[in-house]
Each structure stands twice: as C-alpha cells, then as structure tokens.
Structure 1
C-alpha cells in the first residue's frame, strides 16, 4: 500500500552488457532517476492502468506535464497549437504567454464551434488541446468531435483530465491520444503531492503515432526512431 520513496540518483549495473542494453533501450531498467525511479514507476503504471493508456511519465507539476508534451513535439518559431478557450488560468497563461516566448503560437477557439476549430488548424499545427471539463467554468468538451477534427488533420488530441479523473471519464474512449493530469487535485485527494503525468494511448489507435507530421522520428540511439525502439510508448520514451 505504501510504496517506499527511493532517493536514488544513479543505479548499479550488473555488467557492461546490461548497461549497454539499458542505454540502447533494448531492456527496461533504471539509469538515472531523472529518467525513471521505482517510486515513480508505481505511480505511472497505476495511472496508465486507470486511464487505459499504454504508459505514463510523472513530472513535477501540471504545467510541467503540458510543457513536456508540447516541447517534445514542437519546433520553436515555426509550430502552432490550437486550444479550446475554456482552460484553467495557469494553463492559459502557460500557452498564451510562456509558449509565445518560445516562439510557439497558440490559437484559442470556442471548443463547441467545430468549424472554427477546424479552420484554425493549418500545416504548422501540431496538436489540439482541451480539458474534459473547463476549470473553473465547467464547460464540457465534446471529445468525440474534437478527436475527429484532430485525426482528420493528422494531429493528436491532448486532453487535460484533471477535473474528471478516469473514475468519471476516460478520454481515450472518446478518441484522445494523450491525457495529462495535475495530480495535486482529485487524484491526490488531500493536496499533499505536487506532480503530474502525461499518458499515451496504444499506437494502433489514432494521431500520435499514425501521423508522420507528429511522430518522433530519430533518436541518438544508432539512428533508430523512438517508434522502432518503444512502439506504442514512443512518446513516453521521448519525454
């Protein structure tokens, strides 16, 4: 029930061959805690199981989760995001102001004006972002229609499921490709942790790995792509 808090920084390798397999992503294991940690692994696996995703990656905050997802896929100065305008204030500030300083343009649209949402997508758009229920305005996102629009244009639908949690709604069931949480809220329940996790859906579904516009192409691992190395967990591995 109570998982130990591993304060490990680096880990022991049985031998050089084992270390090589870890660094080449040919074997699962631990290298540095900034990549993976046994305590985090339990959290990540539980969240992935709750959401029905293929994997998860825990970071330090909700904004960190959103930033990790976007920055892993964006090319500063050239890429764009389309987001619904019913968003948590901190998220809106991140997208409208902080991302702008990175050169990433975010177009905010009424999430129920589907024609306007689709019209805002262009060849530079790399994601469609929404919340299951807008915080604090309680606007409910039509994930099915938003996912159809996103996948028509070959981009992933990214959904913040903080307000609903997978207990009430699982965005993957409605076509989402990536789900993010701020765990400080309902998942934590008592305001103790400040952390978050983006999750990815299995790769045989929709935009995230099906789209050549958004697939993580090359790593520094002998010229292999993350899709080759991690398959449905390509985004998690890249993050």
Structure 2
C-alpha cells in the first residue's frame, strides 16, 4: 500500500516517516546536528553536484525537517516540499525563483496584515511590486496581469475574515496568463482544502498555526504541485535556463517535476538561510498526527459560536463562511467541503472602543497575535495585526475597526459562548 492510496488520517500519521534504520525508533528522531559525514570525496562531490540526494548541512536539509516536508507534501498532494523558519519565510521562498527586478505579483486584498505589508512595502527592496485586487472580481484580476507578472497569490481561507477564495477560477486565470498560482493554505490546512486539486501551482503554510496546533514553534512550508512547465516561456530563467548561482545547472531539465523543490533547497535555503530547526519540525510532526481530529472539532465549535453570535443583538455582523447568510456559503461546499474553518470576525456595537474593551474582558479566550491553536484566541486586528494599514486597507482586508477576530479552539463550545457573553456584556454596557 503506497502513500498515494492511503486516506488522510493514515497519511497524517505515517507519511514521510519510517522506523529509524539505526535504532528502530518508531517516532521520527530529532536529528540535532549541523552537519553529516561524507563517505568519501566522491560522495561529497556527488551531493554538491545534486547527482545524489542526501545530507550535507542542516541549513539545507535535515532528516527531521525532511520527514515533515514529505508529510506535508503527501497531505497536499504535491510532488515535493521545502520547510523553512516561518510562514513569512515560506512566502519569500516561494517567490524567490520566480521574481526579478521590475517583476510583479497580483495578490488578493484579503490577506493577513503582515502579508499585506510584506507585499506592499518589503518586497520593494528587491525591486518587486504587488498589485492588490479583489479576487471576487475576476475581470479585475485579469486586468491586473501584465507582461511583468510572475505569480498570483491568495489565501484559501482569508485571515482575518474567513472568506473563501474561488481557487479554481483564479487558477484558470493564472493558467491563461502562463504564471503560477500560489495559495496560502494556513487557515484551511489540507484537511479542509487541497488547493493543488483546484489548480494551484504552489501552496504555502505557516506551520506555526493549525498544522502544529499547540502554539509552541514557528515554521513555514512551500509545497510544489510539480505540474507547472517552467520552460514553457522565458519568464522563469532561474528554473528553465542555466542557473549562474549553481554552476549553470538547468533545474527544469535536470529535475522535471521536482525542479522548484530542488531549486528552493539548493539555492533558496542555501543563500537566504531561512532554515527550520529540527526541534520545531518535531513538534509540528507531532501536531499533524491529530490534524483531522482537531480540525473537525475546530469547525464544529466555530459553527456553534458563529450561530450564537449571529443571533446576539450586541453583534452587527459575523463573517463565518459556514453560515447560510454568508455570501461564501455555497462556495464553501466545493472549496472546503469538510468545513469552513475556525477563523472569522464579528462586528461589535460600539465600534473600535467596544472591541478593545471586549478583548480586555474575555477570561477563557486568550488575547494573542496567533491563530490555529487548540486554545481559542481573540484579537482586535485593526489595533494590532492590521494596525500598519490605512483604514481603507483594513476594510478591504476584512479587518475593519469595529471587528474582532476569533480563532476557535477545541474547548467545549458552551464555555466559549459563555465567555463571549460576559465579555460582550461588559464591552457594550
């Protein structure tokens, strides 16, 4: 029985992991080492020439980290994956082989605030730029693409509002333009959505969130579908032409479906150094073993809380896509058929000030700048994660000043509702 024929629950436990050949250890060991002894000079040369797959230095590859990458690739249905130090690192690692000075990406307006800043400000230092578009307006997406566009980027379930993206429709536009579609699948996880099956080329994760699930370590991952022909045009010379950063090797010609993955290791991790440490990989491997069990509970709790909030007179709106009132309710059935996730926002009567008082009044919810924890989390995005944006950008991103973001955990739903009830009473008194 191969991994490709196994069910999700089986793969989340077994994919990428076998008993340790040296000791028989059943759990993936933490290979806490910087370097690896070569058999001889020829072996070392073969590894550095990418003629043989193996371990050189842990900035590039590490057995614990590789086990995690293989597991995430299996769950996403990708050809290969590369793990790195954070979700933001994963976004840069995904763009690195594709971009160059003067090139641009077309991105959704509904993104995590830190991603908006990374794309609107930070990437300018590389000579790159981003065009922000409402991805529900497909004509606007098409109109934003020009001869210098090298990728399209969006979130399957957008942070903070929990909006569901029509991945297939955007993938079709990307295909017509001859550019890859990159999907941030952090909020959905491969349990709820497998973007590659909807036409995505690359999938990025902040493994910090639901994949690890316990708020212990940061990490990121880039999964390659292995289906994009990087040689179909001259847009991606790092992959389709001799790469000067690796003695003229042509990655597409040499590695085929694994071209992007090998490039991201041999050049991306080598030169950018955004390495995941083996301890972090170990925690994430442990977290993924229960991913489906947790996500079912996350989704059930989120629906219960959202239904209660929608009926409360102190609340003026709830963005949870699992509610029949949501404009994304029907889309959820095809993009995320097992549930709408656990991330959404709600608007509080009294606006900004009431929101601030609400987050100061919760007792069971934790007021932190994170999501995807087993614990339920709350934050006022406009004063924190999206504070650096203009009010217009906050509204576009789904983080208006009168909105509070919830990441629903796996506690008892009645206890979560009771906590929000008492906090709302104080916030709107």
- 1:218 equivalenced with 2:221 (yes/no): no
- In structure 1, the partner of 2:260 is 235
Q: Relative contact order: is structure 1 or structure 2 higher (C-alpha 8 Å, sep ≥ 6)? A: 1
State the alpha-carbon separation in 2 of the partners of residues 12 and 122 from structure 1: 48
How many Å separate the matches in 2 of 1:231 and 1:158?
19
How many Å separate the matches in 2 of 1:20 and 1:50? Answer: 33
Root mean square deviation of aligned Cα: 1.5
Larger helix percent = 2
1:176 pairs, out of 190, 200, 205, with: 200
Classify the secondary structure of the residue corresponding to 1:63: helix
Moved more, 219-228 or 109-118: 219-228
The alignment status of 1:24 with 2:46, answered yes or no, reads: no
Q: How many residues align?
A: 236
1:7 matched to 2:29? The reply is: no
> Paired residue for 1:84?
108
C-alpha distance in 1 between matches for 2:165 and 2:228 = 19
Q: Which residue of the partner structure matches residue 220 of structure 2?
A: 196
2:76 corresponds in structure 1 to 51
Distance 1:128 1:105, change over 3 A: same
Of 149, 155, 164, 2:173 maps to 149
- Most deviating of 16-25 and 218-227: 218-227
Task: Name the SS of the counterpart of 2:116 in structure 1.
Answer: helix
Flag as ranges the 4+ runs of structure 1 deviating above 6 A: none
Question: Per-residue deviation at 1:18?
Answer: 1.2
DSSP 3-state at the match of 1:107:
strand
Larger CA deviation: 104-113 vs 212-221 = 212-221
Q: Distance in 2 between matches of 1:47 and 1:151?
A: 24
TM value normalised by structure 1: 0.94
Deviation at 1:222, TM superposition (A): 4.8
Q: Structure 1's 30 and 228: CA in aligned 2 closer, same or farther, altered over 3 A?
A: same
